[in-house]
Structures are given as C-alpha cells and as structure tokens.
Chain A
Amino acid sequence: MAVWAWVIIGIVVVLLFYFVFIFNGLVRLRNQVKNAWAQIDVQLKRRHDLIPNLVQTVQGYMQYERATLEAVTKARNVAQQAVGQGVGAQAKAEGELSGALTRLLAVVERYPDLKANQNFLALQEQLTSTENKISFSRQFYNDSVLNYNNKTQMFPSNIVAGMTGFKQGEFFEVKEAEEREVPKVSFEQPKT
C-alpha cells in the first residue's frame, strides 16, 4: 500500500487511543462525583448518631431547657426519615437540624458546669468535627462536580462527552435559612 495510506491508518489509531483516554478520564471524574455524594451521606448519618448521646449528656444539667432539647431530638428524627426522599427534602431537614443544634449549643454557654464536663467536651469536639466533615465533604463534592463539568464542557473532551452521553453534574447548594437565623437566647433566670 502507499505510504499515505499507512499514515492515515496511524493517525486514526492515535485518535482512537486519545478518544479512549478522554473517555476513561470522564468516567473517573463522574465516579468521583458519585463517591463524593455518598461521602456526604456518611457524614450526615454520623451526626444523626451523635445526637442522642449529646441530648443525654446535656439533659442532666439543663433541666429548664426541655423545649430546646426536644426540638433537637425532633429535628434529628425528621432528618433520619428524610434520608432517601430526594435531595431537596434531605437538604431542608438537615438544615433544620443544624439550626436546632446551633440553638442548643448557644444555650449551653449559660451552664459553666456543663461546659467543664469531660464527656460534654469530648462530644462537642466530635460534633464540631462532624460539622466540619459535612462541610468538607460538600466542598469536595462541589469541587468534583466542577472538575467534571469542566471536562465535559472544555474542548476537546466535550466532543467525547457529547458522543457518549456524559451529562453535567449538579452543585450541592443548600439554602440553610435556619442556620443563618440569629438564635434567640432568652436571659430569664430559671425559676428555682
């Protein structure tokens, strides 16, 4: 065969390899997005599991804060049930739980005995850490989605993405209105 025929075959082979290379990259990024999403759920569940312990530790010291404690327990149950009911419902329930926790921890400030309790301190460290982990896994999920979207939109990988059906990812934006509310802490003296 003539030389130019071999050259064309060579170019086609190289293009094929490149196509496969990009395809694999897209698969890897999409799986990373899915994995990151699952990680968020893991951290949320961890928070659910911490709360009964927290309520029990705090109960003994805070006899006059029944309402706040009950609110936290209720919010936690709602959030647990919202697992698997879609992103919107879950995000809303988790936002409310965050709000309830925030109010509880603001109230704890008034109880120095409680604040010095070893168990409570350990629990608080776990809670703070879990909150951080939730936000970091959300952050990582969004970063993964960003990378994936970049790959699907930028040239030349957008051609491959279009041909093989890779769709855009969604960013996880939670409107936690509850969290942004300033918690109303009343300074009435508890009736002895």
Chain B
Amino acid sequence: MVAALGILLLLIGYGLGLAFGNGIVGLVIALVIWAIMNLIAYFQGDSILLSMSRAIKISPDDHPRLYNVVEEMKIASGLPKMPDVYIIDDPALNAFATGRDPNKASVAITSGLLEKLNRDELEGVIGHEVSHIKNRDVLLMAICSVLLGTIVILAWYGSRALIFSGGGSRRSSKGGGQGQLIILAVAIILMILAPIIAQLIYFAISRKREYLADASSALYTRYPDGLASALEKLGASTGQLKSANQATAPMYIVNPFRKQGRAAADLTSTHPPISERIRILHAMAGGASYADYDKAYQQVHKGGAGVMPAAALAGAGAVGLRAAAPEATLKEPEPSRVERTREVGDLLWQKSGYKIIDCECGTRLKVPSNIGRATVKCPHCGRTHNI
C-alpha cells in the first residue's frame, strides 16, 4: 500500500510535467520536494511532537512502576536501547510512541490513563506503543504522511497552475490539439482524485499497523486480555485529548477524534474501532503469536483475508499464553486507584516546580516556587513549616 502511495506521487509528478511540456522534469521536481519534506520530518519530528503535547520527561525514580513497565517491554520486544519515558498532564486517556529509530525513541502516556490502569493493563498499553517503535511504524507513517503531503501540495498547485494558465499549449508539443486536451483532462482528473485516494490509502495503512501493534503487544506480554481490558477502559471514556491534531493522530493508541461523529467503520479513521480490537484480543484463546492474532481476526470478521503482514507470519512458532494472574504469590498488592492518582498527581506537582512538604498530621503540602514567604502553615493542624 505504501508502494501505491509512492506510485500515485510519481504519477502526479509525471502528469503535471506532461501538462507543462516535459514529463520527466515534473517527476524530478516531485521527488525533490518529497525528499526535502522527508528530511525535515526526519530530523525534527520527535521534538516537535513532544513539545506540542507538553510532555514531561521522567526519570526512573519519579515513577518506578511506569519506568519498570517500559523497561520490561523493552526487554520483551528486544529493543536495543531504553526509550525515554514522558507523562502528559491531561485527564484524557491516551498514550503514544515516537521515534524514527529504535535507538532514539520516546513513549508518552497521559496522567489520566496512568491513574486508571492496573499493572497488566499498563503492560498491554506500553507493549502496544513499544511495538510501534520496534516495527518502525513511526518511520513508516512519517514517510507516508510526507508522501501524502507532497501529493496534496502538488495536486493543489498543479490544479491552480493548470486552471490559470489555460492549459498552456506549447509550440513544441508533439501531438495535435486533441492529444493535448486528453492529457490535460487526465491530469486534471488525477489532480482532483489523487489527494482523495492518497488519504484513503494512508488511513488504511495506519489501521493495518494498529492491528500489527495490538498483535505484537499480545506477543510480548503473552497476555492479550491485559490490553483488551485497557482498551475497554479507553473505550468508555469520552474526554478529548487537548493537544492532538490530524497529523499526529495515528501515533496515539486510540483515535483522539473518535467522538467527533466518526462512524465505527469509517474509512477515514486512523484506528480500527475499539470494540473490534477488544473482540479480536479476547478471541485469542489458542496462543499469543501473530498467527493466533490473524486467526482471531478472521474469526471476528467471519472469514476473509487476514490482516497480518506476511513477514510477521513467516516462521511464527507456537506461543503459549501466560496464566490469567501473574504468579499470585509474587504479585504486588496493587496500589489502589486513590494511591495511584495521588502518586501521579504528586509527580506532576513536583515537575511543575512545586515543593512538597510532608506535615506530621499526614497532609502533603504543595508549595509553589514563587510563594515569596519563608514559612507556610499546614491548613489542617496549623503547624508551621520552613520552606
């Protein structure tokens, strides 16, 4: 499908070129524009995305549970280097991964989601994000979106140019007036249709990679029900993620725009519908390999083609699922919702520059850095504390 996008780009370039007299020149110009945009996206993509989402980087001590889960998934997936871990201060439930290269990757999760998930679910979500990095989905989607962008730009400028120049007939054209007109007509049709077709292909690619990421997460954790349960929680929430936009949507775990009246089977959605993803994961009773995911997918869709790329299915051995509860005797007493929320909240206060003072009565005072006083009184017991 990526090849289809590429061919579309080449076609437009050539078509534009033809309309102006020289097909090959048009092709070359299209490729040059594409190369330049690729370079920009390649070098600046990560930092732009992270700063747009106001993500805060955390160290291992800030949030041991999250950091440990990311490290566990890094081991299970075989990533060469530990990705940077970020928390986004937003009550909406979402997570994303970015990184053109497995050696230089980042994983981000919203504070809202971090508070709501237990360890198994968190593992499923992080496994999904890490697999985006491992399968180079970030790079792939960046290339595709640049392809798409270039096609759109060319189509837009091309159509303007064609309309306003009145179909520039050159004296050096070989065919007669008829030939010219036909080429012009084809070029115009291509200008109009290509962006639409390109968009559809782009969304189809994005959806396919999402299935692959779900399957990879099940493979790494050996526990598809973890991710399924997390997706259920995600599906039930309606909060809109403040900092997402069309360009960054594919990188999130669920479509940040899912509440904006988009139909479940919408061809213009970057993610498959959540209910379907949950059903597929729950149907994986036979094992945790890619082949099992494919089987589950075909089961949910009642026959038809599978969705896993051939490369993933080749040589896939049988992979057993792990038991429902992790070894019960070594299971940590799962910190309660309240504790988790408090944990994440305190971390965010700290990272925003607030000082945290523990009073003997049990209250945690959060003092802003610009308070201007040297002491502060606890509102519950009245004890004075030095800042």
Contact = CB atoms under 8 A, between A and B. Distances in A.
Same assembly: yes
Interface of A: 32, 36, 39, 43, 101-102, 105-106, 115, 121-122, 124-129, 131-133, 136-137, 139-140, 143-144, 146-147, 150-151, 154, 179, 183
Interface stretch (B248-256, B273-281, B327-335): B327-335
Contact of A32 (B78, B222, B332): B78
Given A122-B64, A139-B222, A147 B315 contact: yes
Given A125-B64, A147-B315, A154-B315, A183 B75 contact: no
Contacts of B315: 146-147, 150-151, 154
B369 to A, nearest CB: 25
Contact of B329 (A133, A137, A154, A183): A183
Interface in B174-229: 220, 222
Contact of B330 (A32, A36, A105, A151): A105
Contacts of B329: 102, 105-106, 183
A125 B332 contact: yes
Contact of B76 (A124, A139, A154, A183): A139
B64 A128 contact: no
Contacts of B327: 102, 131, 179
Given A146-B317, A147-B315, A154-B315, A140 B331 contact: no
B364 to A, nearest CB: 13
Given A32-B78, A129-B68, A140-B75, A124 B317 contact: no
A131 B329 CA distance: 12
Given A101-B330, A102-B329, A139-B222, A126 B317 contact: no
Interface in B75-104: 75-78
Interface string B280-315: 000000000000000000000000000000000001
Closest 3 A-B residue pairs measured CB to CB?
A129-B68, A136-B76, A150-B315
Contact of B78 (A102, A144, A150): A144
B317 A150 contact: yes
B75 A128 contact: no
Given A102-B327, A106-B329, A132-B68, 14 more contacts: A102-B330, A122-B64, A125-B65, A127-B330, A128-B332, A129-B69, A129-B71, A132-B72, A133-B68, A136-B220, A139-B222, A146-B315, A179-B327, A183-B329
Contacts of A131: 327, 330
Interface string B103-129: 000000000000000000000000000
A136 B72 contact: yes
Nearest to B65: A125
B368 to A, nearest CB: 25
B119 to A, nearest CB: 8
A39 B317 contact: no
Nearest to B219: A143
A137 B77 CA distance: 9
